[in-house]
Amino acid sequence: MKAAVIVFPGSNCDRDVQVALQKRMGTAPHMVWHRETDLPKTDLIVLPGGFSYGDYLRCGAMAANSPIMRAVVAAAKAGTPVLGICNGFQILIESGLLPGALMRNRDLKFICKDVTMRVETTDTIFTSHYNNGEVITIPVAHHDGNYFADNETVKRLEGDGRVVLRYSDAEGNITDDANINGSVNNIAGIVDEERRIFGLMPHPERVIEPLHRGTHGAYMFDSLLEALA
């Protein structure tokens, strides 16, 4: 099981996710610079969080057009799983691998805090080690995480069970108060039709050991290890 982490100018969670992958999977991932045009042989592609290209134009828009992304899109379409965290989620959307848009947070604030969310499906290679309906705590750190899609798209996402994570209160209730950024239906993370591409705003790599005050992110990497080993 060998992953590849794509590093863009302005990525700042690439090292954290590198450590998380190494710790939970036992193998150090490839670190691939955005100027590369080919991917090494890999079982999983990770687009890390950060502020690629300074968030110029729209978050993720420039990164989506960088040389390596052609290889990432081709690999994703050929079935290689992709995990996009925060800015990585924004890049997945800008490259058309996931539908919708991530807009400025409803209250215009940069939100950096621990957030509770409900696991909506364990039927993905990213979430098989959670329980359906489980409430987990994972930190977020973003300015543009307000998920939006047209009604048709939202209906399709919901109908196909492709909403993986939803902002909730500590009891798992999906309320407007718990909706930190104004996302449609409290959406925090979605998968593509094949359930192989996962984009989420929270940062699982920041909660993988007790020193982090929590380990809820670790199970995501454990799920992947079991599915891809």
Partner 1 sequence: MKARVHVTLKNGVLDPQGKAVHHALQGLGFAGVEDVRQGKFIEIELEGTDVEKARSDVKEMCEKLLANTVIENYDIDIVA
Question: Can you give the binding site for partner 1, defined by CB under 8 A?
Answer: 57-58, 61, 65, 94, 99-101, 103-108, 146, 148-150, 182
For residues 211 and 217, the answer to whether their CB atoms sit within 8 Å is no
Options 30, 59, 94, 205, the catalytic residue: 205
User: Would you call 205 a catalytic residue per the annotation?
Assistant: yes
- Choose between 181 and 223: whose C-beta lies nearer to partner 1: 181
Query: How far apart are CB 142 and partner 1 at their closest, in Å?
Result: 14
Rg (CA), the chain: 16
Options 86, 120, 142, 216, the catalytic residue: 86
Query: How far apart are CB 213 and partner 1 at their closest, in Å?
Result: 31
Whole-number Å distance between alpha carbons of 47 and 14: 8
- Choose between 106 and 212: whose C-beta lies nearer to partner 1: 106
Whole-number Å distance between alpha carbons of 96 and 147: 15
- Choose between 170 and 177: whose C-beta lies nearer to partner 1: 177
For residues 43 and 29, the answer to whether their CB atoms sit within 8 Å is no
- Choose between 127 and 146: whose C-beta lies nearer to partner 1: 146
Query: How far apart are CB 65 and partner 1 at their closest, in Å?
Result: 6
Whole-number Å distance between alpha carbons of 99 and 89: 11
What is the bridge-based pairing of β-strands 44-47 and 82-85?
Answer: parallel
Residue 52 per-residue DSSP state: G
User: Would you call 194 a catalytic residue per the annotation?
Assistant: no
Residues marked as catalytic: 86, 203, 205
